[in-house]
């Protein structure tokens, strides 16, 4: 049970923010980035800026963060990730619930089989 829970937590952590842009994998290719969506921008100085994109211009990406307008130069961006934490949390919670139901079901079925065996004296207990 602990191994399954650990596996589900690992899946949750790795699936939270899929990579949409990487300067090493697809330089100057911003086709996966859409206006109106929220992304986290990793910059060459090591900083991270989460913001909602309002427009993409020739040399920068413009967006808002807490109602403040921000512009990031494209040549300073190393990665862009889309945040999907809510989806990952729901999927992990569903997985944990499913595992719990299966474990309880197997335990109850085993107990029932032992009770039937004891009632008929077949020696299953």
Tell me the pLDDT tens digit for each residue of 23-47.
Answer: 667 666 777 788 888 888 889 898 9
Tell me the pLDDT tens digit for each residue of 91-113.
Answer: 777 777 787 888 888 887 777 77
Q: Is residue 9 part of a domain?
A: no
Burial 15-51 (b: 16+ CB within 10 A, else e): ebbeebbebeeeeeeeeebeeeeebebbeeeeeeeeb
Tell me the pLDDT tens digit for each residue of 43-78.
Answer: 989 898 889 999 988 888 999 998 899 999 988 888
The whole-angstrom separation of Cα 22 and Cα 42 is 9
- 21: domain range? 17-83
Q: Which pLDDT does position 23 carry in this prediction? A: 65
Q: Is residue 57 part of a domain?
A: yes
What's 64's domain CATH number?
2.30.30.100
Q: Is residue 27 part of a domain?
A: yes
Q: Which pLDDT does position 34 carry in this prediction? A: 84
Q: Is residue 47 part of a domain?
A: yes
Q: How many domains does the chain have?
A: 1
Q: Is residue 114 part of a domain?
A: no
Q: Is residue 70 part of a domain?
A: yes
Note every long-range contact of 98-104, with CB atoms under 8 Å and residues 24 or more positions apart, other chains counting.
Answer: 99/1, 99/4, 99/5, 99/8, 103/1
């Amino acid at each position: 049970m602990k191994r399954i829970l650990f596996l589900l937590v690992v899946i949750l952590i790795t699936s939270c923010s899929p990579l949409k842009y990487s300067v090493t994998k697809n330089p100057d290719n911003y086709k996966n980035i859409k206006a109106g969506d929220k992304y986290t921008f990793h910059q060459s100085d090591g900083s991270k800026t989460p913001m909602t994109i309002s427009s993409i211009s020739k040399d920068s990406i413009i967006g808002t963060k807490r109602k403040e307008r921000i512009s990031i130069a494209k040549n300073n961006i190393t990665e862009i990730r889309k945040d999907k934490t809510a989806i990952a949390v729901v999927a992990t919670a569903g997985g944990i619930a499913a595992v719990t139901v299966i474990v309880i079901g197997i335990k109850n079925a085993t107990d029932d089989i032992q009770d039937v065996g004891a009632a008929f004296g077949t020696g299953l207990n």
